[in-house]
Amino acid sequence: METVHNSTCEVFSQYEAHIYTGNTFKPNDILIVPESVERLPNRLVNSFRNNLVIYWLSVDYAVYKGLRDFEANNYYYHTSWSSSRSAPNQLRAVQSSVREISSHLRLSLKVVALLRRFAELYGRVSSKQLSDYRDYTHIAQSKYAQDLVSKEFGVECFLLNEYVTKRVVGNKRNPLSLTNQRKLVAYNPRKGLDLLQKLMMQLGEDIEFVPISGLNKSQVQETLMQVDLYIDFGHFPGRDRIPRESLLCGTPILIAMRGAARNEEDFKIMSFYKIDLHQMSVSEACERIQKVLGVPKHVTFRQQIDFYKNLIEEEVKYHSQLLSLVKFLNVNLGTSLSSTGKLEFES
């Protein structure tokens, strides 16, 4: 296979990934695309008509309208979270979701750029819309997506959970913890910021909110190790990374009961640590946060120890799933993929 070294993204350099430069494919080659892809060049679809795999990294960003409609209630919440009580709650929810989803479009643009490269290899050709999803093979990143895809299309969907690694970071204390006596709560400003800002307005005097933004992986983990709690009110289109990374760093989490966070297998923590935005008001959510912060961090962490243990085991579980996936593809697609060699993945 004609390939060149991929030097465009240092993040992936550890995988020694290569870019395919040829213009033909072998019968056993497989094309894997994310659920956000709607169209592919005709010749590409024809080449992989029997070996096209959709990897469901989310449900919310799926092009297929049925699943998006099914999850519509993921964007509604208690009226107290609306910016204006006179405005329709649904409209406010949709506006917030549009802003949140737009922050993820960069990933979609990268996918489009990759597919454009395929189009260039094949020349300027017309494209074909992916239609009958029952004709394709499906993989899901979360149990949440797996259940919905299997139910909607009546097909088998293979579960492939990626794992989060915790790197060894220094023991030096975060400057924030040295100068601030208030409780420290970390959050991702790209996840449910409109909702979090309402909490900040009520809790700002008692809590220091620390954004996880503009940091490298080691800095993220150093910050997570030092804060008292990580909060995430995003809509959880899949098994989001930072909440899991927080637990691996020894910091408990408090998350919105939305999307994959509603599924116990994806986020195995007590319901007390999941905020139901449909039923719980802003004031009630603030009270819940204060209760969580009112006990020692290690006590709260022990309440989530089962999920922590699952995360510790996920690397081994992933490699087992990956080997099973190779067998699954060989059976379903008639390919002859090898299950030997070093298998690596890191989110």
3-state secondary structure labels for all residues of the chain? CCEEECCCCHHHHHHCCEEECCCCCCCCCCEEEECCCCEEEHHHHHHCCCCEEEEECCCCCCCCHHHHHHCHHHHCCCHHHCCCCCCCHHHHHHHHHHHHHHCCHHHHHHHHHHHHHHHHHHCCCCEEECCCHHHCEEEECCHHHHHHHHHHHCCCEEECCCCCCCCCCCCCCCHHHHHCCCEEEEECCCCCHHHHHHHHHHHCCCEEEEECCCCCHHHHHHHHHHCCEEEECCCCCCCCHHHHHHHHCCCCEEEECCHHHHCCCCCCCCHHHEECCCCCCHHHHHHHHHHHHCCCHHHHHHHCHHHHHHHHHHHHHHHHHHHHHHHHHHHHHCCCCCCCCCCCCCC
pLDDT, position 66: 62
pLDDT, position 268: 93
- What's the pLDDT tens digit per position in 203-213? 877 799 999 99
Task: Enter the pTM of the model.
Answer: 0.78
Name the more confident of 128 and 294. 294
Label residue 51 by pLDDT band (50, 70, 90): confident
pLDDT at 189 over 70: yes
Average pLDDT over residues 260-288: 92
What is the set of domains in the chain, with CATH numbers?
3-163+313-333 (no CATH), 175-310 (3.40.50.2000)
Label residue 267 by pLDDT band (50, 70, 90): very high
pLDDT at 94 over 80: no
Average pLDDT over residues 328-343: 64
State the chain's mean pLDDT as an integer.
77
Name the more confident of 288 and 106. 288
- What's the pLDDT tens digit per position in 110-159? 555 555 555 555 444 455 566 677 888 899 999 999 998 898 888 889 99
Average pLDDT over residues 240-261: 94
Label residue 92 by pLDDT band (50, 70, 90): very low
